[in-house]
């Protein structure tokens, strides 16, 4: 079974996906980390972030893989080729670079096969921006998770403080989230939107535990 969780940056998709996967005994596939890894590699290689073909070449040249701890559905390490980029892809620089990279049609095409190959290998919770619309359109459960701009910015700041990576300036984070929303929603290829059959959940005024349980119930009723 595939559980697809889409939504804008900072909506809590990663936190929710990890918790749902743990509750249900599923594995968790972080497609956002895959795009971040390509963005990191492109910057390291000096590739222009508006060069679709060059970015596509990067995506076609490297396999992205995840390191797991036995019994834990959440991947703890991220690799692109032979390079571990677990921490390197969680910086403010990559936050800014990932939208143009993920908007490149050649990158999305190259990573689509990798995402489907991993996801079709078992029971997965998959989060991103086009999971239910493009990557796994036949997913058994589709959720579009969102929250207010302000709430998402506060959450991202707290997250950055906890991990010691990324900006902790609220206004900067809020502006960056809104910029990414616009870029992700307006891109020509696989724009951010809710699938027609997705269950929409606004987590602004809900405890995260309530959101997790709602998605778990959707999965149980679909199995």
Which domain CATH number covers 60? Answer: 3.40.50.300
Residues 170 and 199: beta-carbon distance below 8 Å? no
**Is 223 a member of any domain?**
no
Residues 98 and 44: beta-carbon distance below 8 Å? no
* Banded pLDDT at 84 (limits 50, 70, 90): very high
223 has a pLDDT exceeding 80 = no
**Cα separation of 18 and 209, whole Å?**
12
**Is 176 a member of any domain?**
yes
What global pTM score does this model have? 0.79
**Is 78 a member of any domain?**
yes
Strands 2-6 and 124-128, by their bridges, are parallel
Q: What is the pLDDT of residue 148?
A: 95
* Number of independent structural domains in the chain: 1
Residues in the chain: 223
**Is 135 a member of any domain?**
yes
Q: What is the pLDDT of residue 5?
A: 96
State the helix-helix crossing angle for 31-45 and 92-103, rounded to 10 degrees.
100
131 or 74, which is more confident: 131
Q: What is the pLDDT of residue 40?
A: 98
What end-to-end distance do the CA atoms of the chain give, in Å?
A: 8
Write the CA distances from 208 to 13, 86, 182, 197, integer angstroms.
Answer: 10, 25, 25, 22
Q: What is the pLDDT of residue 111?
A: 94
Q: What is the pLDDT of residue 118?
A: 87
**Is 222 a member of any domain?**
no
Mean pLDDT of the chain: 92
Residue-wise pLDDT tens digits, 19-67: 999 999 999 988 889 999 999 999 999 999 999 999 999 999 999 999 8
- Domain containing 197: what range? 2-216
**Cα separation of 11 and 207, whole Å?**
13
**Is 23 a member of any domain?**
yes
Q: What is the pLDDT of residue 63?
A: 94
Residue-wise pLDDT tens digits, 86-143: 999 998 899 889 989 988 999 999 999 899 988 988 899 999 888 999 999 999 999 9
**Is 31 a member of any domain?**
yes
**Is 152 a member of any domain?**
yes
Q: Quick one: what percent of the chain has pLDDT higher than 70?
A: 100
Q: What is the pLDDT of residue 75?
A: 82
What sections of 62-207 are H helices per DSSP?
Answer: 92-103, 105-119, 149-163, 170-186
């Amino acid at each position: 079974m595939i559980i697809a969780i889409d939504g804008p940056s900072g909506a809590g998709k990663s936190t929710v996906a990890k918790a749902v996967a743990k509750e249900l005994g599923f594995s968790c596939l972080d497609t956002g980390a895959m795009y971040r890894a390509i963005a990191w590699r492109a910057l390291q290689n000096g590739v222009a972030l508006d060069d679709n073909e060059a970015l596509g070449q990067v995506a076609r040249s490297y396999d992205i893989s995840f390191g797991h701890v036995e019994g834990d559905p959440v991947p703890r390490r991220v690799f692109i080729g032979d390079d571990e980029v677990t921490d390197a892809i969680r910086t403010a620089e990559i936050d800014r670079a990932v939208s143009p990279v993920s908007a490149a049609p050649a990158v999305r095409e190259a990573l689509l096969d990798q995402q489907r190959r991993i996801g079709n290998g078992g029971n997965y919770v998959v989060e991103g921006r086009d999971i239910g619309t493009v990557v796994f359109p036949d997913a058994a459960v589709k959720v579009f998770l969102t929250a207010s701009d302000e709430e998402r910015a506060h959450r991202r700041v707290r997250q950055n403080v906890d991990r010691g990576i990324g900006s902790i300036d609220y206004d900067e984070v809020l502006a960056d989230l809104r910029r990414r929303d616009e870029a992700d929603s307006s891109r020509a290829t696989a724009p951010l939107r809710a699938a027609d059959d997705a269950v929409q959940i606004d987590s602004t005024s809900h405890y995260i535990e309530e959101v997790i349980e709602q998605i778990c119930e959707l999965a149980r009723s679909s199995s």
